[in-house]
């Protein structure tokens, strides 16, 4: 029997990149994986509920739909996110700042809010929020994304302390540079510079980040809560 057999997982942003790899890994490990995204995944094994993480009614519908069909939510991976317009604060695009904060920080908080209401009823659950190495270290011309991902990390720690007595674990994963479709659209000199900063000498694969998430979702991580795991090939160890 697989480690996650019978578990029900929601993955926001689950139709591409790290989210898709996570859904695929959770299915492989025996879970029912639901992608909560704007577009359906191209994998028939993954369930889909169209969801906008900035819309509270949409998130309520997600939870109601999953609970109605599967009666429980055991795992949440709050992964949905967008990138920013790179600029120093003097040249900040305020509208872009707000949009990134709305999706990458407030979207995580709101998703957690409505899913954890169900987990409280169950007195169990594992929440994995997606942070980033840019929430750990500074990067030139990053503002909203760095602020959002740092916020996710400490929000996660605080919720871990709050909900530990109710059997709900909160952890975060902070990936480094990952070989996603978005990264593949960048010029080769940009990706080469990313690789040069990685002690392991390569980009991470989405499946490697998914493996960390699957561990945190499982009972093998039953004592792990409040952790922010840097899955970054040694980037932040330098």
158: tokens are: 């605080």
Neighbours of 224 (CB within 10 A): 16
Neighbours of 193 (CB within 10 A): 12
d(CA 164, CA 51): 28
Angle separating helix axes 206-217 and 17-28, nearest 10 degrees: 50
Q: Judge whether 145 counts as a catalytic residue.
A: yes
CB burial class (10 A; 0-12, 13-18, 19+) of residue 106? middle
94: tokens are: 């305020």
d(CA 129, CA 109): 9
* Active-site entry in 70, 114, 145, 177: 145
CB burial class (10 A; 0-12, 13-18, 19+) of residue 170? buried
Q: Which residues are catalytic?
A: 145
């Amino acid at each position: 029997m697989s480690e996650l057999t019978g578990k029900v997982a929601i993955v926001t942003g689950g139709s591409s990149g790290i989210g898709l790899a996570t859904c695929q890994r959770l299915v492989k490990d025996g879970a029912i994986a639901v992608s909560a995204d704007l577009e359906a995944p191209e994998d028939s094994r993954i369930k889909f509920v169209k969801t906008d993480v900035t819309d509270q009614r949409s998130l309520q519908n997600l939870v109601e739909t999953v609970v109605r069909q599967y009666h429980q939510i055991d795992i949440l991976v709050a992964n949905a996110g967008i990138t920013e317009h790179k600029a120093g604060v003097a040249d900040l695009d305020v509208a872009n700042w707000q949009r990134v904060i709305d999706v990458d920080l407030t979207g995580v908080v709101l998703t957690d809010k409505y899913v954890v209401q169900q987990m409280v009823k169950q007195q169990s659950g594992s929440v994995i929020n997606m942070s980033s190495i840019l929430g750990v270290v500074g990067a030139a011309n990053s503002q909203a994304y760095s602020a959002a991902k740092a916020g996710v990390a400490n929000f996660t720690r605080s919720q871990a302390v709050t909900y530990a007595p109710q059997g709900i674990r909160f952890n975060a994963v902070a990936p480094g540079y990952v070989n996603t479709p978005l990264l593949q659209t960048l010029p080769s000199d940009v990706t080469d510079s990313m690789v040069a900063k990685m002690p392991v000498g390569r980009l991470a694969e989405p499946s490697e980040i998914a493996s960390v998430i699957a561990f945190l979702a499982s009972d093998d991580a039953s004592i792990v809560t409040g952790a922010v795991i840097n899955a970054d090939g040694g980037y932040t160890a330098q």
